[in-house]
Amino acid sequence: MPPYNADWRNARPIAPYHKGDGHITDDTLMTHALIRVYEKAGRHLDAYAVAEHLVPELMGEKRWIPELEAEALPLQRIFLAEKWIVARLHYGHADPREAGVGNIVNCGAAMYVAPPSASSTPPTPTPPTPRRSTWPAPTSPATAARPRA
């Protein structure tokens, strides 16, 4: 089915996207970017690792953006909250721990938190099964009275 507006690329120059079917969203793109960053870093990501790995991933490598029907930088498709952090880190040289200060409210992080949660949460240890001690051997009045051979 074609988009509602046949000239969707020029209809809204600030946001030249057409409404997709909802299978690939900006949150999906962020999740995929985080997964690629975790693969590259191979470790838990702190604020400095995000600045070192995620920012170049969002603004340096073109990816297929379904809503644009073209390859583009993920930065062109993500929401303003993420763009703010990238701008502060890349252009403003902000301390990575404070890159989100002054940002708008964003609930998108809850949607792409699966990769960090899956990779940084240690498995819950299984408690050991309680065992009854067999040493020294239990004695009962019946066995204690028996003479030993």
pTM: 0.62
Task: Tell me the per-residue pLDDT of 19-39, one tens digit each, with 9 for 90 and over.
Answer: 555 677 788 888 889 889 988
* 136 exposure class (CB count in 10 Å sphere: 0-12, 13-18, 19+): exposed
- Between these two residues, 99 and 143, which has the higher pLDDT value? 99
Mean pLDDT for all residues in the chain: 75
* 82 exposure class (CB count in 10 Å sphere: 0-12, 13-18, 19+): buried
Q: Among the residues of the chain, which ranges form H helices?
A: 8-11, 26-41, 47-49, 55-60, 80-90, 114-120, 141-144
Arithmetic mean of pLDDT, 61-79: 87
